[in-house]
Amino acid sequence: MDAGSPATTAAMPSTRSCPIAIAGTTVDVDDIAGGAALIFHSASEDVVGLQQRVRYLGDLYELPESQRQWLRVRGGREPVEDAPTDMLPDAVTEMVPTEDGARLEIRAVDPADVPRLRAIVRTHRDQMAQGHCWSWQPRVPSRRPQPGV
């Protein structure tokens, strides 16, 4: 593993879903039947870490819309003020390991949603290609006491 790259751990939720945070990683997108694929290549020796992050990113794409929000990861977690507003359609994903990275195949559950899904995946790729670590993150339920409880 590259000395400049932190290990991928469950204790670091802000980075574990950010494949592009691994030094030397690039991302591209390709249309596939029923959706789009994010294709990650890494010059780093941490291909397994990259694949773990891509798998986790795939899990986040499958969450219901009410459980996701865009976060920017730059030395901390903060909500993204100018995040894309298109709601991601229901999707299923598959992480396919490659020799130097991973391919995340994202398919719309409803075939009518394929064009919208492809557009959102391309937006996500564009943000990562610019070096932004934007990703879907599960919303944390409020811990405030409920009235009458």
pLDDT tens digits, one per residue of 25-43: 999 999 999 999 999 999 9
Nearest 5°: CA angle at 127, between 125 and 131?
110
User: Which tokens belong to 123?
Assistant: 């937006």
How crowded is the C-beta side of 94, counted as CA atoms within 13 Å? Answer: 9
Q: Can you say how many angstroms the Cα of residue 99 is from the centroid of all Cα atoms in its chain?
A: 20
Residue with the two structure tokens 């780093």: 44
pTM for this model (two decimals): 0.74
CA-closest candidate to residue 55, choices 110, 98, 88, 117: 98
pLDDT band at 60 (very low <50, low <70, confident <90, very high): confident
Average pLDDT, the chain: 76
Query: Residue 79's beta-bridge partner residues?
Result: 71
Question: What pLDDT does residue 6 have?
Answer: 36
